[in-house]
Amino acid sequence: MNIGYARVSTAKQDLTRQLDALATAGVDPANVHIDKKSGATTGRPGLQTALTQARAGDVLVVHTLDRLGRTVRDTLNMVHELRERGVGIRTLADPLAIDTSEPDRPMSQLAFIMLALFGEMERTYAAERAAHARAVATANGRRTGRPSVVEPDVLEHAALLRASGSTISEITAKTGLKRTTLYQHLPAIGRSAV
C-alpha cells in the first residue's frame, strides 16, 4: 500500500501542490497524512501516524525528500528504520528519482543520500544568508523581523508614563501593553522597577 505524507512549515502555507502530486501518483486520499509544522519539529503527528500505519511491503510517498526531515541524520535514521521494517520511501518531485522500495536499484540509494546532503546544505546556506541580511539591516539602522503592531501613540503614552516615574506594572495596567512589549519598544526601561 502507498501511504502519503505532505508537510508545510507554517499554517499559512498551502499543501495543494503536494496533495495533487500524491493523488496523481495514485495514493488514496484516505492514506495521506499531513502536518503544518517545521521539519525541525520532532512532534509531527501526521508523520507519526504515517510511520505507525506503514507495514512491510508498504511505501511512504512524499513530494520531495525534505518533507520528511530537516537533517541528513534524522532522514537517514528514518529511512534505515523503515528499511528494517520492510517499508520503502518514494519521492515524486526530486531531481534525482528516489525509490528505496526497490533494493536492486543502488542509484536510488545514492540519489537519496545526495539529495539529503544537498537539502541540509541549502538550509544551512539559507540560514547564513538570512543572518547576514539581518546583520546588514541592523548595521544600517533598519529594524528587522515582524513589523510592530503596537500603535505609536500608545507607545508614546507608555514613554510619558515611564518618564513621569510610573512603574512597569502601572504602565501595563494603563496602556494594556505587556511587559515584554514595553521592554522591546522602550529599551531604556530597567527590569528592576516593577
pLDDT at position 180: 86
CATH architecture for segment(s) 2-126: 3-Layer(aba) Sandwich (3.40)
Interhelix angle 152-163/168-175, nearest 10 degrees: 150
Report CA Rg, the chain. Answer: 24
Own/partner pairs for 65-69, CB < 8 Å, 24+ apart?
65/91, 65/94, 65/98, 65/112, 65/115, 65/116, 65/119, 66/39, 66/119, 67/5, 67/6, 67/7, 67/18, 67/39, 68/5, 68/39, 69/39
pLDDT at position 4: 96
pLDDT at position 23: 96
pLDDT at position 152: 84
9 is catalytic: yes
Domain boundaries of the chain, sorted by first residue = 2-126, 146-194
pLDDT at position 192: 46
Maximum pairwise Cα distance, the chain:
77
* Closest among 171, 176, 175, 173 to 188, alpha carbons compared: 171
Q: Which residues contact 71 (CB under 8 A, 6 or more apart)?
A: 120
- CA-to-CA separations, 23 to 17, 61, 62, 194, in angstroms, rounded: 10, 11, 11, 58
Specify the fold of 146-194: Arc Repressor Mutant, subunit A (1.10.10)
Grouping H, G, I as helix, E, B as strand and the rest as coil, residue 111 is: helix
Q: How far is the C-alpha of 96 from the C-alpha of 112, rounded, in Å?
A: 8
pLDDT at position 188: 57
Tens of pLDDT along the chain (194 residues)?
A: 999 999 998 888 899 999 999 999 999 999 999 999 877 777 899 999 999 999 999 999 999 888 887 777 788 888 888 888 999 889 898 877 788 777 666 666 676 677 677 777 777 888 888 889 888 988 888 877 777 778 888 888 998 998 888 888 999 999 999 888 888 777 655 554 44
Q: How far is the C-alpha of 185 from the C-alpha of 176, rounded, in Å?
A: 14
pTM: 0.61
pLDDT at position 107: 65
